[in-house]
Chain A
Amino acid sequence: AQSVTQLGSHVSVSEGALVLLRCNYSSSVPPYLFWYVQYPNQGLQLLLKYTTGATLVKGINGFEAEFKKSETSFHLTKPSAHMSDAAEYFCAVSVDTGRRALTFGSGTRLQVQP
């Protein structure tokens, strides 16, 4: 079975500072990895995904994530935080079992201070 751990339920950064949201996964088979963002009173929006190929994945709104198999990690980064980035971020994993349901982490709430 797969699982996802997001370190830090709350992260606070200053506007313009680096954003780093951590995600570690557990899977016995090669995973597909996703980051979703949820703004208040909205559903989840896909930020980026890793399936195969290049391990550095670029997404929307300037975010990117790097798949590191040796570290079983898929951390999300953005060089410079913007006030509009304040939201909750979810890491998710699915594996190629034909079932392909997503397993989500518990989420990280990002606060951006002016």
Chain B
Amino acid sequence: ETGVTQTPRHLVMGMTNKKSLKCEQHLGHNAMYWYKQSAKKPLELMFVYNFKEQTENNSVPSRFSPECPNSSHLFLHLHTLQPEDSALYLCASSQMVGSTTDTQYFGPGTRLTVL
């Protein structure tokens, strides 16, 4: 589990705040992912980056803005969130999107509460 780290682990923010979530992977992978895990809903894929390029945006509202400066780091910038955005945000990494036996490894998540 220490292969993918996420900070902070817990975050409470108001609807007008701006904050960022950070993910770092130490596995030498080239693909990184953001997922949202809400209560009573399946994990939802939000964004996919492959070799620093965004390859998928799963119709995520613009108040969520991802950034991938290099293959090891992934950020999720948050602004003017809504209470329904409260969830566990999980980061994952894998060797490369599209590789034959690609396996995703997850970080511990950031528990976000929007007041």
Contact = CB atoms under 8 A, between A and B. Distances in A.
Asked whether A and B interact, the reply is yes
Contacts, number: 57
Nearest to A9: B40
Interface string A76-114: 000000000000001000101011111111110000000
Most buried by B among A34, A43, A106: A43
Given A99-B97, A101-B33, A106-B42, A43 B107 contact: yes
B interface secondary structure, majority: loop
B48 interface: yes
Interface string B59-101: 0000000000000000000000000000000101000011111
Interface of B: 1, 4, 6, 33, 41-43, 45, 48, 55-56, 90, 92, 97-109, 111
